[in-house]
């Protein structure tokens, strides 16, 4: 049965390619328009089951008017980068069409046609076919496509560091200096400073007795423990996950007393675009996680590929690289939760399940309307809770007092 699909894209190559892909997978296009030119009523009257959006900065304000439909639990939303859609051709376009068909029709078959069939179990006369005969006319194309499909599942770095061509002769870490400097160090620094103009007040002298007395703003001890939240909620997702995360964030309150950390694998690594998508529906601030920064309650953080969690005596922050599996296992159970949304890797079930026994709130996305429910099914097999993204948000809202 074909699905009713609304195509939201500006006129151009991206829209034409997406339209062709929808026709190829047998979808029924019930609306095709620039999201800047329609309102939520027009989109809702088309009664789409799926909305396909070609994302680009020029339509972000237009999408805000359509949020009433886009966050509807009965509507699946698929995002694609307009820039990528416009230039996608050949095997790359075919591969994306297979993934699009799987998302729209709710199955997980994304392999190209021509896969080897199961061998016949009936006895037949003559010598068996040799491997060379079996693959005599086989081309390498399908193997290349399968390799590309699998390549997206491999770990990868999203950013590479290039050292500066002319590094400075010396770099002073101000925080480190404040932690280790003595009053005599500060006095020496003041003595080296240029004398102030006659109209300016004299500089603050460093007092003796081992005590700092700067009056503009008290200097607090540099402690990540005091700046980071105790506990967090981590949401894992993959293919089909952006829509689930959007619906989750739309129903969480602005004063949610934990940081919500989103780990979502993206083909193109455009996490900045994901942040903008999530920020449009979230009542909480949404930002990219940055190394050596704390995680604040009532904030949403998207983990890019090169940043992981850091758990320090229950306090949550971020670190470059790091072992995310180890960090998840160290979350303070009674103050933390883990959500396994569409496309989550099944490996996380084994990692987070021991936390549930210690009091952590562990749940997965219900299989209905979930594109890739493998992790949810594995969680349910162990007795875990499954619910829609909207119901998960409501349960989280009552889990800890605001």
- Give the pLDDT confidence of 20-50 residue by residue, as tens digits: 889 888 889 999 999 999 999 999 999 999 9
CATH class of 225-399: alpha beta
Write down the pTM of the prediction: 0.55
- Give the pLDDT confidence of 136-152 residue by residue, as tens digits: 666 666 566 566 555 55
| Residue boundaries of the structural domains of the chain | 4-105, 225-399
pLDDT attached to residue 349: 94
pLDDT surpassing 60 at residue 119: no
Determine the Cα angle at 107 with ends 263 and 250, to 5°: 40
Structure confidence at residue 230 as a pLDDT band (50, 70, 90): confident
By mean pLDDT, which of 7-16, 138-147, 331-340, 376-385 is the weakest? 138-147
pLDDT surpassing 50 at residue 207: no
**CA–CA dist 362, 285 (Å, integer):** 24
Q: Determine the 3-state secondary structure of 277 from DSSP.
A: helix
- Mean pLDDT score, 250-272: 86
Alpha carbon of residue 306 to chain centroid: 12
CATH no. for 4-105: 3.40.50.920
- Give the pLDDT confidence of 341-389 residue by residue, as tens digits: 998 999 999 999 999 999 999 999 998 878 889 999 999 999 999 999 9
Backbone phi, then psi, for 302, in 5-degree steps? -100, 125
Q: Note whether 294 and 317 are within 8 A (CB).
A: yes
pLDDT surpassing 70 at residue 287: yes
Would the CA dihedral through 283, 289, 295, 301 be positive or negative? positive
Domains 4-105 and 225-399 share a fold: yes
Taking alpha carbons only, the member of 81, 78, 85, 80 closest to residue 14 is 85
Backbone phi, then psi, for 318, in 5-degree steps? -130, 155
Q: How large a percentage of the chain has pLDDT more than 90?
A: 39
pLDDT surpassing 50 at residue 194: no
Q: Which two tokens stand for residue 249?
A: 């964030």
H/E/C letters for each residue in 177-205? HHHHCCHHHHHHHHHHCCCCCCCCCCCCC
pLDDT surpassing 50 at residue 232: yes
Would the CA dihedral through 242, 246, 248, 249 be positive or negative? positive
Q: What is the mean pLDDT of the chain?
A: 78
Q: Identify any residues that bridge with 50 across adjacent strands, giving them in sequence order.
A: 5, 76
Would the CA dihedral through 194, 195, 200, 204 be positive or negative? positive
Contacts of residue 162, Cβ cutoff 8 Å, sequence gap at least 6: none
Structure confidence at residue 208 as a pLDDT band (50, 70, 90): very low
């Amino acid at each position: 049965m074909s699905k009713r699909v609304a195509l939201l894209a500006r006129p151009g190559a991206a829209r034409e390619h997406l339209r062709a892909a929808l026709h190829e997978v047998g979808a029924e296009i019930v609306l095709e328009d620039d999201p800047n030119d329609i309102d939520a009523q027009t989109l809702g009257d088309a009664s789409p089951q799926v909305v396909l959006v070609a994302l680009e900065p020029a339509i972000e304000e237009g999408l805000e008017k359509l949020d009433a439909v886009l966050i509807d639990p009965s509507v699946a939303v698929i995002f694609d980068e307009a820039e990528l859609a416009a230039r996608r051709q050949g095997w790359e376009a075919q591969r994306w069409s297979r993934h699009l068909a799987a998302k729209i029709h709710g199955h997980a078959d994304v392999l190209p046609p021509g896969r080897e069939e199961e061998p016949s179990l009936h006895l037949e006369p003559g010598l068996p076919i040799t491997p060379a005969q079996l693959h005599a006319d086989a081309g390498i194309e399908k193997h290349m496509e399968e390799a590309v499909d699998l390549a997206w599942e491999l770990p990868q770095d999203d950013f590479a560091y290039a050292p500066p061509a002319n590094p400075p002769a010396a770099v002073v870490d101000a925080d480190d200096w404040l932690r280790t400097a003595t009053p005599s160090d500060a006095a020496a620094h003041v003595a080296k400073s240029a004398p102030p103009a006659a109209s300016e007040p004299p500089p603050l002298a460093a007092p003796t007795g081992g005590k700092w007395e700067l009056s503009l703003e008290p200097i607090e001890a540099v402690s990540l423990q005091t700046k980071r939240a105790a506990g967090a909620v981590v949401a894992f997702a993959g293919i089909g996950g952006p829509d689930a995360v959007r619906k989750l964030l739309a129903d969480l309150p602005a004063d949610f007393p934990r940081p919500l950390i989103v780990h979502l694998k993206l083909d193109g690594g455009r996490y900045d675009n994901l942040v903008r998508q999530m920020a449009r529906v979230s009542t909480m601030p949404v930002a990219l996680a940055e190394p050596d920064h704390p995680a604040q309650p009532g904030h949403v953080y998207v983990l890019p590929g090169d940043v992981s969690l850091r758990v320090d005596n229950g306090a949550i922050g971020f670190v470059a690289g790091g072992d995310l599996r180890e960090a998840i296992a160290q979350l303070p159970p009674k103050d933390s939760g883990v959500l396994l949304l569409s496309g989550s890797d099944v490996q996380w079930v084994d990692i987070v399940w021991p936390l549930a026994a210690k009091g952590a709130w562990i749940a997965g996305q219900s299989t209905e309307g979930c594109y890739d429910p493998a992790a949810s099914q594995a969680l349910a097999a162990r007795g875990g809770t499954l619910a829609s993204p909207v119901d998960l948000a409501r349960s989280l809202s009552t889990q800890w007092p605001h």
